A and B are shown apart, each in its own frame.
Chain A
Amino acid sequence: MAHYPSYFTLWQKLGLTGVKLTAWLVLLFLILPILVIIPLSFNAEPYFTFTDGMLALDPDAYSLRWYQQIWHDDKWLLSIKNSFYIGFMATLIATVLGTTAAIGLSSGQLPLQRMIMALLLSPMIVPLIITAAGMFFFYSQLDIAGSYLGVILAHAALGTPFVVITVNAALSGFDYSLVRASLGLGAKPVYTFFKVIMPLIRPGVISGALFAFVTSFDEVIVVLFLAGPEQRTIPRQMFSGLREEINPTILAVATLLVLVSALLLLTMEYLRARGERIRSGQY
């Protein structure tokens, strides 16, 4: 273990070791439940648990049958397609609207700034069950409940707060004299936006977009209330699978989703490092 300062008493050393041990146990608590589903998804038997054969590392106890099952099940295929389609469209809307709004918010010229900010971030705070119930009432009146449009608009609304927050953070060190310089030198506003503002806030915009995508990709409750059978998404399919007929296909899907989130995490870390470099002026 690490070296403690020489003036530490034995009890202090023991205490510190105890804290470190606790920290490691908590880390295990965080990561083990997620890792445990990966081997389970290769189970040859239709159970949610390790069989004796699996524990003995018998190759016959492992199989890819649940992964094959995903590709042979129209419901899963439709839900995968839907998740990406709805997620992509919702992200597009949320990113465009959220980025524009964040630029207006960070200019410091907005009246009622605090109130508007609280309002724009409220979709993130209001419990989804309330949002979903309200959307069900309202979207039914507009006749867009049970349609792709309804789910996409709902998910876009839920994703915008994340874009506003990340782009706002990216703009926190932004030097507005750059914009004035560009405009003063005769550049058109649109050109200034894409050539001056955008390169500097791009990491923030992309990470906001990723957050918006994950929000939609992960969301079940609004889908549960608003979507018809045609708009079923992956989490919706998992939800009914867990309620009705538990079989390891869900574990196979879950394993694939863990891979997706690992990819997202790496992308986010890369973007964060880039954003820090840009803000500290080393670009």
Chain B
Amino acid sequence: MSNAELTADEVRQSHRHIRRRKVLAVMFVAPLLLFIFVTFVAPIGTMLYRSFYHPTVAELIPDTLAELDDWTADSGQLPPRETLNIFTLELKLLANERLSGKLAEEINRALPGASSLIKSTARRLRRVDDAELQSQGAARLFEVRDDWQQVEVWQAIKKSGAVFKTDFYLTALDLERTPAGEIVQRDTQIYLQLYWKSLKIAFYITALTALIGFPLAWYLANASTRVANTLMILVLLPFWTSLLVRTTAWIALLQTNGVINSTLISLFIIDQPLEMLYTEFATVIAMTHILLPFMVLPLYSVMKGIDPSYFRAALSLGARPVPAFIRIYLPMTVPGLSAGALLVFIISIGYYITPALVGGTEGQMISNLIAFHMQSSNNWELAAALGSLLLLLITVLYWLYDRLVGISNLKLG
């Protein structure tokens, strides 16, 4: 139908009609969109922001940092006396408010060893008169410790004072900046190794779920409806059971005096209990159990739609069963296999609870370290940087999933 058949007024009217329906659709979606923005997107944004915004030092010694603005270490000279005086005043104030330890901890990250220097100096400055520090602070500083005459100390203070920095990302990637400003690898590689290990564990779990999920899905898809529906309950019950319950079950099974060990011992298969709990093996086996339904369900729904006569035709035309399976049946299951594999991979890469409870030290994944920096070491900025990198990884996988499977095709139950 071309516009020529309609009058200008009719065209306008139909445009208005379409616009009204669009506005209506937006009005229906807007409340949830707003809600998700406030409760979910804003928190994620805050985390991304926190990964390079670090105002702690700037809040502790604002005046010193303002003075240090004009000073650079390249000259090889110490900052001017006045700057040092102001620093002693601020350090005394911090010492009296019991905040000097926090400053020491922060500076120590830029210059290992600075912690004791700052703490001992702060203790000594507590009793010194303000007026004296105002005029003679620098001299007092040098009296307490010689180290204050080193340019590196002041450079470290200036560096820690920067409010926006990429240092946490460097740490998260096991890199560091030398005093000269070059980016080099750290001596101890922690985080990259852990990312690598998380990817490896996620890969094992994905491969295992595919390997054992495939025959099960095939059997369910080819059984009679009554049998399939009954057996489906055995797949869905674990799916609906609390994650904590399933993890508890694996602890009961795997521990030293647990069900598996006592069974094997009473059957005289082994005479010493196997150490299975708190290992990488425990993480992999428990998570395979937990995530298996996510593989079986999409595989089942794809296999249900495959006409068995293709495979039969191949056989009756003389193909041998294994090649026929690989070249005829397997390619038709790829949509279900890829959907399940991506889903399992995405979920397992960011898993926290199960590794934390059954993984011990060797079965930890990247999420566990993020939680550690959030809760125990209180290095929130590093946790945020590690989280941002993980988020980037997940976003790529999510995009891939949307491309290959289509996010709207996600079905539940």
- Measured CB to CB, the nearest residue on chain A to B250 is A33
* CB–CB A120/B36 < 8 A: yes
Secondary structure at the B interface, as helix, strand, loop or mixed, is: helix
Residues of chain B from 209 to 249 with CB closer than 8 A to chain A in the complex: 212-213, 215-216, 218-220, 231, 233-238, 240-249
Secondary structure at the A interface, as helix, strand, loop or mixed, is: helix
Using known A-B contacts A49-B262, A129-B367, determine if residue A239 contacts B244 with beta carbons closer than 8 Å: yes
Taken together as a complex, chains A and B put the C-alpha atoms of A214 and B357 apart, in Å, by 21
Taken together as a complex, chains A and B put the C-alpha atoms of A7 and B318 apart, in Å, by 12
The stretch among B83-91, B97-105, B117-125, B251-259 that forms the contact with chain A is B251-259
Q: Which residues of B contact A133 (CB under 8 A)?
A: 47, 370, 374, 380, 383-384, 387
* CB–CB A37/B245 < 8 A: yes
* CB–CB A214/B240 < 8 A: yes
* CB–CB B245/A254 < 8 A: yes
B326: Cβ under 8 A from any A Cβ: no
Residues of chain A from 102 to 138 with CB closer than 8 A to chain B in the complex: 103-105, 107, 109-111, 114, 116-123, 125-131, 133-138
* CB–CB A107/B25 < 8 A: yes
The stretch among B158-166, B168-176, B346-354 that forms the contact with chain A is B346-354
Taken together as a complex, chains A and B put the C-alpha atoms of A130 and B215 apart, in Å, by 35
* CB–CB A109/B21 < 8 A: yes
Q: Which residues of A contact B356 (CB under 8 A)?
A: 243
Q: Which residues of B contact A92 (CB under 8 A)?
A: none
Taken together as a complex, chains A and B put the C-alpha atoms of A198 and B145 apart, in Å, by 77
Q: Which residues of B contact A47 (CB under 8 A)?
A: 257
In angstroms, how far is the closest chain B Cβ from the Cβ of A171? 12
Taken together as a complex, chains A and B put the C-alpha atoms of A203 and B242 apart, in Å, by 23
A-B pairs, top 6 by smallest CB distance, nearest first, are A127-B350, A104-B28, A134-B43, A23-B219, A134-B47, A101-B32
9 contacts between A and B (CB under 8 A): A29-B289, A33-B249, A33-B289, A129-B352, A134-B387, A235-B243, A261-B245, A268-B236, A268-B240
Which B residues lie at the A interface, using CB under 8 A? 18, 21-22, 24-29, 31-33, 35-36, 39-47, 50, 212-213, 215-216, 218-220, 231, 233-238, 240-253, 255, 257-259, 262, 289, 292-293, 316, 321, 346, 349-353, 356-357, 367, 370-371, 374-375, 380, 383-384, 387, 390-391, 394, 398, 402, 407-408, 410-413
